[in-house]
Amino acid sequence: METGSQHSQIYNFAINTGKIYEDVRELRTKFSDELLSEFVRRVESALLRKRIEPEVPFHPTEWRYHKQKYILFRDNKDLDPFRIHFFLQPTNNYPKKLSDKEWLSIVYEKRVDIKKPIKQSNTLLGKDKIPNDEEAHKNENYTFLENFKGNDKIDKSKEQKIEYIDEVSTEKKKEVLKKLKSGKYYMADDDNDPFQWRRWRYNIYSYYQKCILDFKEDRKDFEYFFAFKLELIDPYDVKLFLNWHLENTFSNDLEQFKEFIDILFMKYNEILFDPTIKSLCMKFSEKNKEIELKQPEEKKTKLGRKTTDKLEIPITISRESSDKITRLTSEQTAILFKYLQEEGILLQDNNLLSKVSMARAIRALTGLSDDKLKKHIQKYKHSNTDIRQVLKYLENIKQLIDRDLKQKKGPN
């Protein structure tokens, strides 16, 4: 079977929503507007579910910038889904303890050189984009328009008079500080009122942010974005891409990987519609299956066993949920074998003993369903009740061992 390890350092085939967003945006004409809108929504969902840190976390002293981004997002959210490259999420997680200087900077702006170059995150703007005043200008000398529609000019009639902090008297500063810290102020309907800075408590996320999805932990999102990645990849790289995931995602379990690809084309046929990609995937599966069947008899695995040697698996018996043929439930049995693996009694390397193989081995010994066993083996947490039940039978086993040791007292 071919391996993708030699390409892992050259090609990055991990399912990264940020990179896939970039690819979809570049080749967006291949998909319908409805599909693109759903894609953008799924990117947002993945970033939040994986708890990726926001590109720009909210800070009270930066409320003007977050207000400007809110207005831009609000005015564009129902237009082209790729018109802007960020989205907002309400938050209460921001610095609560501020210095007097920081409190005052909420109300009064600093006098800065407006000609000074603006530093701004590339991911928020998209690659190779230069920010204009409304799109990404973080200079607080500007009062941004509330209804920005993409015009580069600022309407002077709507611009408020700016009061700089170095122009304010000490008495006035004390008065403002007291008002700010009390939290009591008149809630006028004014977007530019600094005392209403809490209205703009939004974290800013970029669609370009790195978010790696895992096949086991993020199954639904993983297969969804995998479909887009596969559809948009260069045909010359399809083989490398599939090899990489066969080795790194599916631990060289060709049967499981082939099933995943087959279901993927049926489930996401509105995404995977390129006949060339489908043909290459089918050829990949067939070729690897032939290689697996034709491996030389003398070729050995890491365990030293010939690849042609077969483990004899008993015929699966018919089990009922309450037959009590074995004393542990399916989940309790999985817990027991996980402890055996963790202690090194069973193989610990997933490349030598995959979760699928372990489930099949347990099925052969117990008659339990390997589908249920696989599901329980992959779980990260189990109930205390099930763990205690396993412990109970382990203690019984210990008593049996103690009994045998007592019966065999004497010279070694």
Could you report the per-residue pLDDT of 76-123, keeping only the tens digit for each? 877 788 888 899 999 999 998 889 888 888 888 766 554 544 444 445
d(CA 354, CA 351): 6
Least reliable range by pLDDT among 63-72, 137-146, 352-361: 137-146
In a domain, 30, yes or no: no
382 has a pLDDT exceeding 70? yes
Q: Looking at 179, 206, 233, which one is the last position of a domain?
A: 206
Share of the chain above pLDDT 90, in %: 34
Query: Angle at CA 105, nearest 5°, toward 100 and 109?
Result: 150
Q: Indicate if 280 and 187 belong to the same structural domain.
A: no
19 has a pLDDT exceeding 90? yes
In a domain, 303, yes or no: no
Residue range 275-294, pLDDT digits in tens: 999 999 999 988 887 665 55
Residue 327 has phi, psi (to 5 degrees) of: -85, -20
| DSSP for 266-284, written as a single string | HHTTTT---HHHHHHHHHH
Using only C-alpha atoms, what is the Rg of the chain? 30
Total structural domains within the chain: 3
d(CA 149, CA 151): 6
d(CA 242, CA 250): 10
Q: Indicate if 61 and 132 belong to the same structural domain.
A: yes
Q: Indicate if 233 and 282 belong to the same structural domain.
A: yes
d(CA 254, CA 258): 6
d(CA 314, CA 363): 9
Q: Indicate if 278 and 335 belong to the same structural domain.
A: no
136 has a pLDDT exceeding 90? no
d(CA 197, CA 95): 13
CA 237 and chain centroid, separation: 24
Containing structural domain, residue 373? 330-407
Q: Indicate if 156 and 228 belong to the same structural domain.
A: no
Predicted local distance difference test score (pLDDT) of residue 42: 95
Q: Indicate if 232 and 141 belong to the same structural domain.
A: no
Q: What is the DSSP letter of 204?
A: E
d(CA 200, CA 77): 17
Q: Indicate if 264 and 344 belong to the same structural domain.
A: no
Q: Indicate if 77 and 164 belong to the same structural domain.
A: yes
Predicted local distance difference test score (pLDDT) of residue 349: 64
Residue 132: pLDDT band (50, 70, 90) is: very low
Place of tokens 């000490």: 170
In a domain, 375, yes or no: yes
Q: Looking at 206, 229, 253, which one is the last position of a domain?
A: 206
Q: Indicate if 92 and 144 belong to the same structural domain.
A: yes
Q: What is the mean pLDDT of residues 39-59?
A: 95
Residue 14: pLDDT band (50, 70, 90) is: very high
In sequence order, the 6+-apart residues with CB closer than 8 A to the CB of 193 are none
Q: What is the mean pLDDT of residues 63-80?
A: 86
In a domain, 356, yes or no: yes
351 has a pLDDT exceeding 70? no
d(CA 351, CA 367): 25
Q: Indicate if 181 and 253 belong to the same structural domain.
A: no
In a domain, 321, yes or no: no
Predicted local distance difference test score (pLDDT) of residue 186: 53
Half-sphere exposure (Cβ direction) of 33: Cα atoms closer than 13 Å: 5
